Amino acid sequence: MTELYNLLYNESEKIIKKKKLLVLIGILIILIPLFVYASERQYSAAVKILGTDDWRVSLQKEILEDQSRMQNVGRSEEWKKWLEIKIKQQQYYLDNDINPNEPGAPTFTRTFIENAVSLFIPLLVMVVSIDIVSSERSDGTIKALLTRPINRWKILLSKYLAVLLFSAVVVFLVCFLSILISGIFFSFRGWEAPILTGFKFDNGQLITSDVTTIPQWLYLLRVIGIAWFVSICISSISFMVSVIVRNTAAAMGIMLAALIAGSILVGFASTWEGAKYIFSVHLQLTDYISGQMPMISDVTLGYAILILSLWSIAAVFISFYTFIKQDIL
């Protein structure tokens, strides 16, 4: 146990001393203010188009419309229930004097992570994990590492744990810096604001029977949880590529291609069934809780998580199997 702890300590020291995390923080510190500024522009443009910055008036109007729609006969009970929840949500904004469109730290961070979960966060996680084994190989230090009285699987396990640890650090940094920077620009308010969730899809039909509202902090926590899960999968797969491919640049190229191919293939997935077995088309997991129509009709949140988990488990298995048997040349 102390041996594993020492090994993990060593791996962490190497990752930190390579200064990759600092570069990563630098990227976030430059990019997040950019996004913050963009959403600020978007907000003020919206205000300009609506011609009024009295959001209370427009909210009230929306509530009235929904109420009249509820009177409509011929609508299903389910539909009415959903409208009821929506009205309650809007009423909450009015009662608590919250402008639902006004950006604050929680709202910004939530939308930022929702947008970053399928490509930006995977890229950052990939950059941190991709050279964990391949760099030791190309620097030749693997020979010093693997001639110690420690079994190979233990060395590799410490490297996998380090990758998991630092991918979690990446997700934490993204959230922390996003909340901090957007909070300073806008405000730190909006944690309790109700957010709609619980949408389901059945054969392309939106099912609203289970829709409820939850406070934004809880919603944000779920989004972060999803981002964390995605980062575990990406770091596991990057880890495998790092074990198999000797050259760090080539390894990075492979992961980059896989991630970008995934984001392109999402568009084709409605016509090509096979795409749903590729891990990188399933990264936009936040869509399932926010009520977006998923691209692949019969894919559910559970199915996407299953595919990602299977890929990760297989990746870890292949990594250990090849690494333990392999001749180190």
Partner 1 sequence: MENNTLVVKNLSKSFGNRKIIDDVSFEVNKGEIFGFLGPNGAGKTTIIRMLVGLIKPTEGKIYISGFDVRKDYKKAMSRLGCIVENPELYSFLTGWENLMQFARMIGLNDENKILEIVNLVKLDQRIHDKVKTYSLGMKQRLGIAQALLNDPDLLILDEPTNGLDPAGIRELRDFIKRIVKFRNMSVFISSHLLSEIEMMCDTVAIIHKGKLIKQSPVSDLLEETQKVSVWEISDVNKGIELLKKVSRNVIQISDTTLKCEIGKNEIPEIINMLINNDILIYNASVVQESLEDLFIRFTGEETND
Residue from 57, 293, 310, 328 binding partner 1 (CB under 8 A): 328
Partner residues linked to 207 by β-bridges: 200
Distance (Å, whole) CA 226 – CA 169: 15
Q: How far is the CB of 140 from partner 1 (least distance, A)?
A: 4
Q: Which two tokens stand for residue 290?
A: 């926010």
Other Cβ atoms within 10 Å of 213 Cβ, number = 17
13 sits near partner 1 (criterion: CB under 8 A):
yes
Length of the chain: 329
Q: How far is the CB of 327 from partner 1 (least distance, A)?
A: 4
The 10 Å CB-count burial string (b at 16+, else e) for 198-207 is bbebeeeeee
Distance of CA 235 to the CA centre of its chain: 13
Q: How far is the CB of 132 from partner 1 (least distance, A)?
A: 13
SS3 195: strand
Cβ atoms of residues 167 and 128 within 8 Å: yes
Region binding partner 1 by CB under 8 A among candidate stretches 7-15, 42-50, 60-68, 167-175 = 7-15
Interface with partner 1 (CB under 8 A), residue total: 25
95 sits near partner 1 (criterion: CB under 8 A):
no
Comparison of 141 and 270: residue with beta carbon closer to partner 1:
141
Residue with tokens 């250990």: 320
Residue with tokens 């041996």: 3
Comparison of 9 and 268: residue with beta carbon closer to partner 1:
9
Comparison of 10 and 89: residue with beta carbon closer to partner 1:
10
Comparison of 133 and 223: residue with beta carbon closer to partner 1:
133
7 sits near partner 1 (criterion: CB under 8 A):
yes
Partner residues linked to 200 by β-bridges: 207
Comparison of 51 and 149: residue with beta carbon closer to partner 1:
149
Comparison of 140 and 274: residue with beta carbon closer to partner 1:
140
Distance (Å, whole) CA 186 – CA 110: 14
H or E segment to which residue 129 belongs? helix 120-129
> Which 255-314 residues touch partner 1, going by CB under 8 A?
none
Comparison of 75 and 154: residue with beta carbon closer to partner 1:
154
Cβ atoms of residues 164 and 233 within 8 Å: no
H or E segment to which residue 328 belongs? none
3 sits near partner 1 (criterion: CB under 8 A):
yes
Comparison of 147 and 271: residue with beta carbon closer to partner 1:
147
H or E segment to which residue 306 belongs? helix 301-325
> Which 15-34 residues touch partner 1, going by CB under 8 A?
17-19
| Binding mask of the shown chain, residues 109 to 148, with x at each position contacting partner 1 by CB under 8 A | ------------------------------xxx-xx-xxx
Comparison of 160 and 288: residue with beta carbon closer to partner 1:
160
Region binding partner 1 by CB under 8 A among candidate stretches 5-13, 183-191, 247-255, 310-318 = 5-13
14 sits near partner 1 (criterion: CB under 8 A):
yes
Q: Which two tokens stand for residue 239?
A: 């880890």
322 sits near partner 1 (criterion: CB under 8 A):
no
Partner residues linked to 196 by β-bridges: 213
Residue from 150, 161, 173, 214 binding partner 1 (CB under 8 A): 150
Instruction: Output the 3-class SS for 68-110.
Output: HHHHCCCCCHHHHHHHHHHHHHHHHHHHCCCCCCCCCHHHHHH
Question: What are the residues binding partner 1 (CB under 8 A)?
Answer: 2-3, 6-7, 9-10, 13-14, 17-19, 139-141, 143-144, 146-151, 327-329
